[in-house]
Amino acid sequence: MAILIAGLIIFLGTHSVRIVAEDWRNQQIARWGENSWKAAFSLVSLIGLLLVIKGYSETVMSPLILWSPPAWMNHLVMLLMIPAFVLLVASYWPGSMIKARVGHPMLLAVKIWAFAHLMVNGSLADLLLFGSFLIWAIIDFAVCRRRDKKLGVVRATGTIARDIQATVAGLVIWAIFAFYLHSLMFGVNPMAI
């Protein structure tokens, strides 16, 4: 459990620097240069992510179960993951109205993903993993929206055609993940539950 907690602190901590110390972050970028900052940020994030994966996989061997969700909830989670994937794709899809309206669709996708997985995973490790990501995404989303408002950020408007493309791409990626990658990567086939 200690490895999981350390990984979450490192991973979410690096992703929280802009939330808690934006001026310091900007000073470091000016001092190191943007590429060096991104390289260091990526390295520390990767270390944190690897620790999260290792720590979580160790807890699966002897989980401390806090609750057992009803079986029907798995179907609800599968449905919730559709908009999560669409939002994730829209965050990178140029010309998306979804991105223009939501502002930070990746953070909204993380909130949906974490909340959905909290509903169907009842161990202490799940609570730590998905609960930490949910709390972080809620805070980061609020901070980013407030920062955008303060700075007067105006997002380019998108088109329906680009939203349709992002939605179709999100659905395809969701299907690939749901039917194949989730069981390959995590050993759990969500379609068989």
Residue spans per domain, the chain: 1-62, 63-193
Measured CA distances, 19 to 8, 137, 182 (Å)? 16, 11, 31
Residue 193: the pLDDT is 65
Class of residue 16 by CB neighbours under 10 A (exposed 0-12, middle 13-18, buried 19+): middle
Q: What is the pLDDT of residue 157?
A: 80
The pLDDT assigned to 114 comes to 98
β-bridge partners, 96: 159
Task: Write down the pLDDT at residue 17.
Answer: 93
Q: What pLDDT was estimated at residue 129?
A: 96
User: What's the pLDDT score for residue 152?
Assistant: 82
Q: Which two tokens stand for residue 176?
A: 């690939």
What is the block-wise mean pLDDT of the chain (193 residues), using blocks of 10 residues? 96 94 92 93 96 92 89 92 96 90 93 96 94 97 90 81 95 94 86 74
Residues 6+ apart with CB under 8 A from 123: 59, 63, 64, 65, 66
pTM for the whole structure:
0.90
